[in-house]
Amino acid sequence: MIQTIKLVYSNPKYFLLASGIFVLMTIGLLILSEYIFLEPYVVAHLPSGSELGFILIVTLSALSALVIPMNIFRIKTLKSSKQKMGGGILGSIIGNAAGVCSCGPIGFAVISTFGSVGATATAFLTNYEIPIRIIAIVILAVTYFTTVKSLKVECNLNS
Amino acid sequence: MNKKGVILGVIVVAIVVGIVASYSSAPSETVNLDMGRTHGTISTAMGSPILGDPSAPITIVEFGDYQCEQCYAWFHNTKPAIVQNYIDTGKVNLVFVDLAFLGRDSPKAAQASYCAEDQGMYWEYHNILYNSQESVDSGWANSERLKAFAFSLDLDMTLFESCLDSEKYSKRVQYNIQQARDNGVKGTPGFFIVGPNEQQKIGGAQPFSVFKTILDSMI
């Protein structure tokens, strides 16, 4: 497993890509989930009771940053099919959608645009924020292990 | 001439009966609204009663939804320090204006708070709602629960139920939502800190330190 990670991330391009995904996703989700505020001052805030949400955001971002570059490596270097890339993207999208659609500007825009349908959707995403993020993490973890397995097999076959 | 007189008489009687009927069917609750009340660019005439000293030089206008979990977080994590350090000391007062948009029970909960205001218990009812918050539209703020909250505050249930069931304050809540939109509020909680010469907007359940910095700069 460590060898596979070394194989991918020894290339600085993939290391940079992973770092970029992690930083952008973490900061973006922390802003959308109101752990970081940009106005009127830049301030980070972790209210009591929301520690689990914070940990899930960091885990989700870390797994996305790990899985997505590995799948891009697989597709580009080993010319594999793009099908298995779906798990990483799906996990990231599901994880991103959860929680950001609550009382904030995105939820307000969705409800203003789509009315009661939007309200029902945002209520679902808000009420089940934690379970949805956990499902997204499970999807990403499964994708990670299948990608590592697939890289091991494909690299052995190609070498 | 007699025919005309009879028709005129009927019209006069109809008008008098109409006026009497409209007065007698009006709800018996009385509302004392200061229709000219504004804070900065915001018309707070239809908002909550003022929490704190009405003559305080600074007003915090909070736009909120009783089903919003970030509003719940602000109510529990930030508001107590503001009340203790600024509102109880007479430096600041606070007005709550509804931006009830999150779910079908949100407008009803907002209306219920004004039904409680009819009996002088607005802030007590407001606090009960934020202390009882559960998931959006999970039933915690349906009509039965809203009435149960009123019962727990020893409100006159006949008055409260007639107020809530008749949707007496539906237009008041709609007016408040429109105020939020007119002032560019795009989520809850949203705040305007209105000082003697300026007003500052704050979006989201920001920590006490942010409010302290702004309030201290205005005092």
Output B175 or A153, whichever has higher pLDDT: B175
Q: Does residue B3 lie within any of the structural domains?
A: no
Among A80, A87, A73, A83, smallest CA distance to A7 is for A73
Total domains in the fold of chain B: 1
The model's confidence at residue B19, banded by pLDDT at 50, 70 and 90, is low
* Gap from A141 CA to chain B (nearest CA, Å): 29
Mutate to test the interface with B, among A30, A48, A103, A120 (most CBs of B within 10 A): A103
Residue B70 counted as domain residue: yes
Q: What is the 3-state secondary structure (H, E, C) of chain A?
A: CHHHHHHHHCCHHHHHHHHHHHHHHHHHHHHHCCCEECCCCCEECCCCCCHHHHHHHHHHHHHHHHHHHHHHHHHHHCCCCCCCHHHHHHHHHHHHHCCCCCCCHHHHHHHHHHHHHHHHHHHHHHHCHHHHHHHHHHHHHHHHHHHHHHHHHHHHHHC
pLDDT digits (tens, 9 = 90+) for B112-161: 999 999 999 999 999 999 999 999 999 999 999 999 999 999 999 999 99
Q: Tell me the average pLDDT of chain A.
A: 84
10 Å CB burial of residue B159 (0-12, 13-18, 19+) is middle
- Angle, helices A129-158/A105-127, rounded to nearest 10 degrees: 90
Confirm if B62 and B191 have CB atoms less than 8 A apart. yes
Q: Which domain holds residue B196?
A: 38-218
Residue B41 has pLDDT above 70, yes or no: yes
Strand, coil or helix: B77? helix
Residues in chain B within 8 Å Cβ distance of A37: 203-204, 206, 210
* Percent of chain B scoring above 70 in pLDDT: 85
Cβ contact A43–B188 (<8 Å): no
Which two three-digit tokens encode residue B118?
Answer: 């009819």
CATH number of the domain that residue B107 is part of: 3.40.30.10
pTM here?
A: 0.82
The lowest-confidence range among A36-45, A87-96, B79-88 is: A87-96
Contact: A126, B200; criterion CB under 8 Å: no
**Band (A125; pLDDT cuts 50, 70, 90):** confident
